[in-house]
Amino acid sequence: MTPAELRERVEAFLAEHPPATTDRREFLHARYAAGLAWVHFPEGHGGLGLSRGLHPLVESLFTTAGAPDNNSRTNGIGLGMVAPTILTYGSEEQRERFLEPLWCGEEIWCQLFSEPGAGSDLAGLATRAVPDGEEWVVNGQKVWTSGAHNADFAILVARTDPDVPKHRGITYFLADMHDPGVDVRPLRQITGEAEFNEVFLTDVRIPDPMRVGAVGDGWRVANGTLNNERVAIGGSALPREGGMLGTVARSWREHHDQHTPELHDRLMRLYVEGEVARHTGQRLRQQLASGQPGPAGATMKLTFARLNQQLSGLDLEIRGAEGLRYESEPGWTMRRPDEVDFTGRDAVYRYLRAKGNSIEGGTSEILRNIVAERVLGLPAEPRVDKDVPWNEVPR
C-alpha cells in the first residue's frame, strides 16, 4: 500500500467516524478493527501488515483530525514494550486477549523486572515461580516499578529453575496486578513524588497459558522487550526543538538578563547535539522500518539520557535565581503521579527527574557494554557466574 492509499484509507475512516461526534471508546475500537491502530502490526491485530515506517503518517493524520488519545502517556510501557513482545513471542490466544484493550488504553501495563538484588545483572533475579497443576505460584520482590499503582497487568520474569546457570532458568509471564497476592508500595524519589513502586509478590497465581515463550526461555523474550524499551525511550520522532531542547530554548529566549557567551556556547553545543540525535533517530526509524530493533538502538538511549541531563541542568543556570525555586504544585509534598512527563512541571523537577534517564531502562554503563560487545564486537566482560548454577552463585 502506498502512502497515498493509506492516507485515503485514514480519511475514509475519519469521514465514517467523525472524532468530534463519535464516542471515544467506540472510535478507538473501530480504529483497531480497521487496522489503523498500528499499521505495522498484522491484520486482525490492529494493523495492516505494512512497513513500520508508514505508521508515523497515520498517527499524524489522526492527531491532526483531533482523534481521541488511547491513554498513550499512562500506558507507555504497554504500547512501547508489552505489545511488541506479545506480538513477537506470545501465543495467538494472548494476542487475541490482550492487544486490543492494551491499544485502546483500557488495560494499563507495568514491568516487573528489576529486583533489589538484580538491577544491571537482571538475569540474577530471585523471584521464584513454582508450578502447581495448571498454574504457577510466584513469590518475590520487584522494585523501581513505574506505574504499578495504575496497572492492570504486568510483564514478569521469574526463576523457574534455580539449578541451572542464571540465564537458562528464567521464564516470562503475563501477571494480573489485581491478584490478591500483589502488594504495591510507593517508593518516593528525589523529586519528592512516587512515580515508581516496590511490588511484593506473595503466592501470586498465574495460569500456565499466561506464560510467554517456553519454560526457561524468558531471558531471550526479556531481551526482546528491553530492545523495544530502549527504542521507546530514545527513538520517538521529535520536531526541531522538541522535547527538553525546546523547553530550554524557550527558557533562553525568556531570560535575557542571564545571557552570557559561556552559557550561549553551551546551549548551542547541546542544540547541535539535539539535532544530531534527531537525525540519528530518524535514520534508526528508517532502518527499523524493514526490521526489528537491534543493539544500535542503545546509542539513542545513551544520547537521550546525557542530553536531557545536561539540558535540564543548563536550564537552571539560564534562569538564575529563578532556578532555585521549586514552586510548582505540590513542591516536595509526596504524591503519586498518573503519568511520567520528563518535560513537565518546572525546571527543578526536570533537572532531578532527568537523573533517572541514565539509570532506568538499562544504565548508561550497561548500554555502553552492549554497544561495545554487540555492535563493535569487543570481548564480553569476564563472567564468573556464567556456567555456575544460579543457586550456587555467592550473593
Residue whose CB is less far from other proteins, 190 or 276? 276
Identified binder of other proteins from the candidate list 25, 185, 269, 383, rule CB under 8 A: 269
Interface with other proteins includes 152 (CB under 8 A)?
no
Interface with other proteins includes 64 (CB under 8 A)?
no
Stretch that binds other proteins, among 95-103, 119-127, 249-257, 307-315 (CB under 8 A): 249-257
Interface with other proteins includes 242 (CB under 8 A)?
no
Site string for other proteins, 220-239 (x = CB under 8 A): --------------------
Closest of 119, 190, 199 to residue 151, by C-alpha: 199
Cis-peptide into 382, omega within 30 deg: no
Identified binder of other proteins from the candidate list 289, 316, 352, 393, rule CB under 8 A: 289
Identified binder of other proteins from the candidate list 30, 57, 164, 316, rule CB under 8 A: 57
Stretch that binds other proteins, among 101-109, 274-282, 307-315, 354-362 (CB under 8 A): 274-282
Q: Strand ranges (DSSP E) for the chain?
A: 109-112, 128-132, 135-146, 153-159, 170-176, 182-187, 196-207, 211-212
Number of amino acids touching other proteins (CB under 8 A): 56
The residue assigned the cell 534508526 is 284
Least distance to other proteins, CB of residue 342, Å: 20
Identify how many contiguous H helices and E strands the chain contains and give both numbers.
12, 8
Distance CA 163, CA 168 (A): 9
Interface with other proteins includes 383 (CB under 8 A)?
no
Distance CA 94, CA 210 (A): 7
Stretch that binds other proteins, among 50-58, 143-151, 216-224, 323-331 (CB under 8 A): 50-58
Do the beta carbons of residue 215 and residue 171 sit within 8 Å? yes
Residue whose CB is less far from other proteins, 59 or 179? 59
Distance CA 101, CA 174 (A): 14
Stretch that binds other proteins, among 108-116, 130-138, 332-340, 372-380 (CB under 8 A): 372-380
Identified binder of other proteins from the candidate list 39, 148, 244, 249, rule CB under 8 A: 249
Type of residue at 258: Q
Interface with other proteins includes 287 (CB under 8 A)?
yes
Interface with other proteins includes 328 (CB under 8 A)?
no
Interface with other proteins includes 367 (CB under 8 A)?
yes
Least distance to other proteins, CB of residue 252, Å: 6
Distance CA 94, CA 113 (A): 20
The DSSP bridge pattern shows strands 182-187 and 196-207 to be antiparallel
Which residues fall within 8 angstroms of residue 15, CB to CB, at 6 or more apart? Answer: none
Residue whose CB is less far from other proteins, 365 or 392? 365
Type of residue at 127: T
How does DSSP assign 215-265, residue by residue? Answer: TT-HHHHHHHHHHHHHHHHH-----TT-HHHHHHHHHHHH-GGG--HHHHH
> Which listed residue (16, 115, 229, 327) is catalytic?
229
Residue whose CB is less far from other proteins, 3 or 330? 3
Closest of 36, 14, 35, 17 to residue 26, by C-alpha: 17
Interface with other proteins includes 294 (CB under 8 A)?
yes
Closest of 276, 232, 272, 280 to residue 249, by C-alpha: 272
Cis-peptide into 330, omega within 30 deg: yes
Distance CA 218, CA 85 (A): 11
Residue whose CB is less far from other proteins, 115 or 229? 229
Show the cell assigned to 280.
Answer: 540519528
Distance CA 250, CA 58 (A): 29
Residue whose CB is less far from other proteins, 25 or 269? 269
Identified binder of other proteins from the candidate list 65, 162, 271, 338, rule CB under 8 A: 271
Interface with other proteins includes 51 (CB under 8 A)?
yes
Show the cell assigned to 46.
Answer: 490492529
Least distance to other proteins, CB of residue 145, Å: 28
Query: Is residue 229 flagged as an active site residue?
Result: yes
Contact positions vs other proteins (CB under 8 A): 3, 51, 53-54, 56-57, 60, 240-241, 249, 252-253, 259-261, 264-265, 267-269, 271-273, 275-277, 279-280, 282-283, 285-287, 289-291, 294, 296, 299, 302-303, 365, 367-369, 371-373, 375-382
Known catalytic residues are: 229
